[in-house]
Structure 1
């Protein structure tokens, strides 16, 4: 696969050391000769490790392994070159360290080993002998051993036995995979392997690498690595979708499907952590793409499994302004934002929605109305229905509730004086049209009022008396904001004359009156 026979000296750069490839080639017998580690490489790896980045630790471990292989007599090992200046280290992201390594390989006539395509092209242009290590897509990882078909996530912590969540969202159990606790060395080795492979594979991304934590997307796995000083010990959490669902698998009501096709353009997908929000968002994205819509996603990290015609943007590799410009200029029909967290995320969602782009936002919330309230302090309530028209609440992997938002001018439920009428955002059940909440300003405060509580507490008895006064002899029952009126058939002839008065009660108190004929 690689040719090393004719050059006695090799200079690996930072990228190939972080990936841990050189020592593997030596162990496999594919590489012999002298390995020269440039001091610029050590300085860059040291700088990364001092920042707590996993890449720095992985690269330094690879240098240590190469030195051990030299002790075994498999290769010659040397550290050479001038230590870079602070200016060079700060300019590493712009290629300053790579340039030092190339120049050294050129001066001593050594072969450069790199996993960086740009580095390889520049070296070839300079006439330097280069071995380019291409990414390998399929590699068996140790983390794979902890997963089976029913595993949702694996939790590895030094000093504890490996554990896994098995089952489906909302219906899982935590089981021990072994009775033997993991040592720090074992967890570190698994973490190092994950980082190395993520750098090599085309479907691997190191989304975030901070002091104390690293977040990686590797194929179907979303992996979070934490280490001291952030955590008291090394820990790895790997999450994998148990099943890839299509929208048809959710068996949605026809009315909701029609709404998604014709009306819904400001969608919030809400639910508690681990309830299947992202899985549903993924299915919805594929559904719109299958309908001939241009769909893009904003993710952090990119963990949706989507077809190639859906472009996935990482929020960690671009600032909000850049994503704003890209999406406004490319004008997708729908953008899936997974997940909305801080003010910048909400502002981007609002700006793109007001620009006419269909938005699907994923947000953590324990109830559907909690998702709406995340927007209330960030936007005038009069604009809410223009930004959010549909709220889909996911619980245990199922669509539990669907709300729609409408703007109207009315007397809020529970208020009596006519001059208190004002703009009110109604939050209604999208399937039954039942009024669930009202959002309006009262003084300087924005209030969210659960209508059913108003009807069943302060006004339940009053509503019952009013209905009984309109229709004497009727049996009246108040359930939430639904009033059931059982009328004897003997009074049916006079009922029509009183429907207008019942309708006024509905409008005044925000209730639904259902009349049944009995007897």
Structure 2
């Protein structure tokens, strides 16, 4: 009697089955069962230009061809999933269909998905969890040295790195060897790999053609078609962690941050060191026995362990903001304030009495204030923002204090 094995989507994409056939781990004494739901899921992904869908379909072709050579029986079982079932694939619907087939066929489920493996064990289905180990040679850390701020890996281009310090850096080639698609895919696979039954990266943002990950202290952005015309991986690493003392701040500013400022804007152009300064303020407040939280997506601020970092929920912070009112922080760092709803939320939280520190892109300190005009009422701005700190090239530039002043219009007297 032949040993039946059922393949799920993950093990096919992983490419493990064709290797097992080549190594004679699967022979004519085995029967390979491929659920139709798997084929339809891979086809759906491929039609959306998702790389995994195309890889999976190519692997299916390899399995069929190699099985013919080794006289291994391959059968296709199950109904085609409905459109709603394909849409619910992320919620485990397709996985459930595959598990049911394995149970009904009294077969062993082969999967590279650890959760699918646990569910199978919990429901009494025989399963084998196997995932190909990704070599450490594809670890993106290998492209960094002690001077690297960020690394830029683009398909068909030599790897590039920005080296130096905020405001004083240069873009340099790391190697003269151009990156091909296969190398970039292996780097991506490494970032999505599992170690000790735990994913090595946290997915902060995901939509079709784009991922934003946190791997250790690296913020990594991955884009691919249809978002971009080719694969690009950008990895950013904080060079060092600073405290407020490292900025040579005078006593007046320390006093203001400690006792007076409760609506702070940290402004500056991209890469100027705003987030690093925000992290140093968070550390300062923690050392002074303040309860600090952050609102950020991705969650990449380097803050003390006691600071809980909140991310967006369903592409927004509204529900998370409701939670902040319940946990009652003394200060919340909002990195970064950019969308119209972000400005409204920053103002709403500040007016409830929570101390707010907002990180905002701006070419000048006054531009940061200007960006609030039109989003909230003009007369409310001084009640929301009391201090603007402009960061340039990693250093504190201008500091502004905001106050509401009522005065007689020019050309008129008090009697008028």
Q: Deviations over 1:409-446 (max 9, x none)?
A: 2247xx3433599xxxxxxxxxxxxxxxxxxxxxxxxx
1:193 corresponds to = 190
TM (normalized to structure 1)?
A: 0.69
Q: Deviations over 1:303-355 (max 9, x none)?
A: 22334432222225553332122222222222221111111111211111111
Shift of the 72–241 alpha-carbon distance from structure 1 to 2, 3 Å rule, reads farther
Structure 1 residue ranges without an equivalent (≥5): 1-6, 422-519
What secondary structure is seen at the aligned counterpart in 1 of 2:371? helix
Relative to structure 2, which stretch is displaced further, 194-203 or 319-328?
A: 194-203
1:336 corresponds to = 333
What is the rounded CA distance, in whole Å, between the counterparts of 2:333 and 2:134 in structure 1? 27
Shift of the 133–390 alpha-carbon distance from structure 1 to 2, 3 Å rule, reads farther
What is the rounded CA distance, in whole Å, between the counterparts of 1:394 and 1:69 in structure 2? 61
Larger radius of gyration: 1
Q: Deviations over 1:113-145 (max 9, x none)?
A: 5565654454333211245579x9996634222
Q: Does 1:183 align with 2:180?
A: yes
Q: Does 1:326 align with 2:323?
A: yes
Relative to structure 2, which stretch is displaced further, 159-168 or 228-237?
A: 228-237
2:291 corresponds to = 294
What secondary structure is seen at the aligned counterpart in 1 of 2:356? strand
Structure 2 residue ranges without an equivalent (≥5): none
What is the rounded CA distance, in whole Å, between the counterparts of 2:299 and 2:65 in structure 1? 37
2:262 corresponds to = 265
Q: Does 1:171 align with 2:187?
A: no
Q: Deviations over 1:36-77 (max 9, x none)?
A: 54332333343334334566566667767877987997x968
Name which structure has the greater RCO, CA cutoff 8 Å, separation 6+: 2
Conservation of the 8 A alpha-carbon contact between 1:265 and 1:389: yes
What secondary structure is seen at the aligned counterpart in 2 of 1:392? strand
Quote the RMSD (CA, aligned, Å): 3.7
What is the aligned counterpart of 1:80 among 45, 51, 76? 76
1:206 corresponds to = 203
1:347 corresponds to = 344
Conservation of the 8 A alpha-carbon contact between 1:11 and 1:38: yes
What is the rounded CA distance, in whole Å, between the counterparts of 1:335 and 1:138 in structure 2? 40
Shift of the 17–200 alpha-carbon distance from structure 1 to 2, 3 Å rule, reads farther
2:303 corresponds to = 306
Pairwise CA distance, 1:288: 2.1
What secondary structure is seen at the aligned counterpart in 2 of 1:383? helix
2:249 corresponds to = 252
What is the aligned counterpart of 2:91 among 91, 94, 112? 94
Pairwise CA distance, 1:240: 1.3
Relative to structure 2, which stretch is displaced further, 237-246 or 273-282?
A: 237-246
1:281 corresponds to = 278
What is the rounded CA distance, in whole Å, between the counterparts of 1:24 and 1:334 in structure 2? 55
Matches within 5 A, 1:398-437: 398-411=395-408, 415-418=410-413
TM (normalized to structure 2)?
A: 0.84
Shift of the 169–382 alpha-carbon distance from structure 1 to 2, 3 Å rule, reads same
Conservation of the 8 A alpha-carbon contact between 2:329 and 2:354: yes
What is the rounded CA distance, in whole Å, between the counterparts of 1:392 and 1:356 in structure 2? 21
Q: Does 1:239 align with 2:251?
A: no
What is the rounded CA distance, in whole Å, between the counterparts of 2:59 and 2:334 in structure 1? 38
What is the rounded CA distance, in whole Å, between the counterparts of 1:286 and 1:296 in structure 2? 11
What is the rounded CA distance, in whole Å, between the counterparts of 2:130 and 2:42 in structure 1? 19
What secondary structure is seen at the aligned counterpart in 2 of 1:375? coil
What secondary structure is seen at the aligned counterpart in 2 of 1:165? strand
What is the rounded CA distance, in whole Å, between the counterparts of 1:65 and 1:245 in structure 2? 53
What is the rounded CA distance, in whole Å, between the counterparts of 1:318 and 1:78 in structure 2? 43
1:149 corresponds to = 146
Q: Deviations over 1:436-488 (max 9, x none)?
A: xxxxxxxxxxxxxxxxxxxxxxxxxxxxxxxxxxxxxxxxxxxxxxxxxxxxx
